[in-house]
Amino acid sequence: MKLRNLFILAALLIPVGLQAKKGQPRTSGNPILPEFHADPEVLYSNQTGKFYIYSTTDGAAGWGGYYFTVFSSDDLTNWRHEGIMLDLGTSQVPWASGNAWAPCIEEKRQADGSYKYYFYYSGHDTKRDRKSIGVAVSDSPTGPFVDLGHPLVDQRPEGVRGGQQIDVDVFTDPQTGKSYLYWGNGYMAGAELNDDMVSLKEGTTKVLTPKGGTLQDYAFREGAYVFYRQGKYYFLWSVDDTGSPNYHVAYGTSDSPLGPIEVAKDPIVLIQNPGQEIYGPAHNSVLQLPGRDEWYIVYHRINKDYLLPTPNGPGFHRQVCIDRMEFNPDGTIRRVQPTREGVAPVKVKKPKK
């Protein structure tokens, strides 16, 4: 039986969450997905009324995974494997050969009331022999997706030396309806997307890398994520090496979706808890429940048996987790405590058909 088929069979054995003590609601448990996954992107679909997670398929030597899967949930606690939705090992993505990493997705309602899904990801560009960012489009959050046929971003911004074109994020500004793309490893870049969502608006690319910091606080590494709340644009990013126990999330804010970014006075959002054997919690996405000021952070942590400096696969044996994210009255983010319990089930109103 092929390795891919074995993975699918294993993924169908989804945990149903931790059983609670009498009188308490059960929780999702952490990790929430089976096997090894990383760089999770969470989406609430207004079309289906469900939650979805897209991720790097982990566990392959040298971060060599070549396809993306999608999981769905009605309540954030029970997750169903929906299958492979984009495969860089086939003709589905003609320009890339593998290293299917760190995806993101945006749901956009069309003028006729239908929905389209724009899935951004990085892969190894065979023509240029380097990492580039692609995009594929579907009418459904689970696919099938049709790739653009060539990279969307295949080079560093002007003036940037070093770093890879990976770790893409997409954000639609609720104030203007404009959409933006962010990416970079070693640097953070951002640009406005054209209305077609598959090309960048000429002349809008900016380097946004937060300046300064150390590996103990906010020195930028990768994994930018942007969201909007109460008049502020929040920028989250990952610090340190992806295989380090110290891999963690820091943040800053801005008055604009393209910066400049002001690093928070207390910039750490999420960091390891060795006492609970929780290491390297980072590379996150953020979920706001529809119509509520209720927020969740979805992230990966490193399996405790695969931390640096072990030679046994450091960095690519990661697991997806979820916890609540809360704010102080002044809008600053309270430091998230990574848990083994995860979150209780949530209920959202299903969209009208």
Helix (H, G, I), strand (E, B) or coil at 233: strand
**What's the pLDDT at 9?**
42
* Average pLDDT along the chain: 92
**What's the pLDDT at 18?**
53
Active site amino acids = 39, 222
> Is the torsion defined by CA of 296, 36, 189, 208 positive or negative?
positive
pLDDT (average), residues 128-146: 97
Range of the domain at 219: 3-325
Residues 6+ apart with CB under 8 A from 111: none
Whether residue 346 is contained in a domain is answered as: no
**What's the pLDDT at 307?**
82
**What's the pLDDT at 284?**
98
pLDDT (average), residues 228-252: 97
Distance, CA of 138 to CA of 95 (rounded, Å): 19
pLDDT at residue 4 is higher than 80? no
* Chain segment 22-47, per-residue pLDDT in tens: 555 699 999 999 999 999 999 999 99
Helix (H, G, I), strand (E, B) or coil at 5: helix
Distance, CA of 226 to CA of 221 (rounded, Å): 15
**What's the pLDDT at 163?**
95
Q: What is the share, in percent, of the chain residues with pLDDT greater than 70?
A: 92
* Chain segment 149-161, per-residue pLDDT in tens: 999 999 999 999 9
Whether residue 333 is contained in a domain is answered as: no
pLDDT at residue 14 is higher than 70? no
pLDDT (average), residues 196-221: 98
Q: Phi/psi zone of residue 35: left (φ > 0), alpha (ψ -120 to 50 degrees), beta? A: left
Whether residue 210 is contained in a domain is answered as: yes
**Total domains present in the chain:** 1
Whether residue 352 is contained in a domain is answered as: no
Whether residue 348 is contained in a domain is answered as: no
Whether residue 340 is contained in a domain is answered as: no
Whether residue 28 is contained in a domain is answered as: yes
**What's the pLDDT at 16?**
41
Cβ atoms 104, 168 nearer than 8 A: yes
Sheet strands side by side (includes 67-73):
37-44, 51-57, 67-73, 80-87
* Chain segment 44-85, per-residue pLDDT in tens: 999 999 999 999 999 888 888 999 999 999 999 999 999 999
pLDDT at residue 15 is higher than 50? no
For the record, the structure tokens of 121 come out as: 């990801």
**What's the pLDDT at 352?**
72
CATH code (residue 75) = 2.115.10.20
